[in-house]
Amino acid sequence: MGVPHRLDRPVSGVALFAKTSKALERLNEAFRTGDVHKTYWALTCAAPQPEQGELTDMLLRNEKQNKSYICKSGNPAAKQARLRYSTIRRFDRYTLVEVELLTGRHHQIRCQLSGIGCPIKGDLKYGAPRSNRDGGISLHARSIVFIHPTRREPVTVVAPVAWPPFIQE
């Protein structure tokens, strides 16, 4: 048994668990090779411009601060982070953005969206102006798609969103 995929503590949504060591090994390999597709929904404090695109940045992790930073590509400790995003809907004060992870770096979505001026609602660490009432951030692991480790069939898991708290406040 084990956890091939994890979520940051303030994030809601899909989490994946393996029931056997063989399944864990196969799922870990699928994550390493990019055969697992993860989609997130983020409620951002600003609308991204353009409304859709791909972000590629070099991220440097600061373990003491438990935070990642966008940095220049010359830093040998930095790792490339890539994601695609698209605007789903604009609200009065927030924008719902769908994010497809192309790499899986520490705080990647939080850091990269903040880097384009769109911090996630409630995410004080990455530039949101105020916290959410529950202390979480408005980032939701919406879905995960993978090949079942033993049956070899496609599996799609979608996590419902607790509307309206995801948007209101």
Active site amino acids:
8
Question: Per the structure block, which two tokens stand in for 59?
Answer: 């991220």
CA 67/CA 105 separation, integer angstroms: 11
- Check whether the bond before 149 is cis (ω within 30° of 0): no
Identify the helix (H) or strand (E) that includes residue 22.
helix 21-32
Q: Are 36 and 155 in contact (CB under 8 A)?
A: no
Cβ atoms 14, 71 nearer than 8 A? no
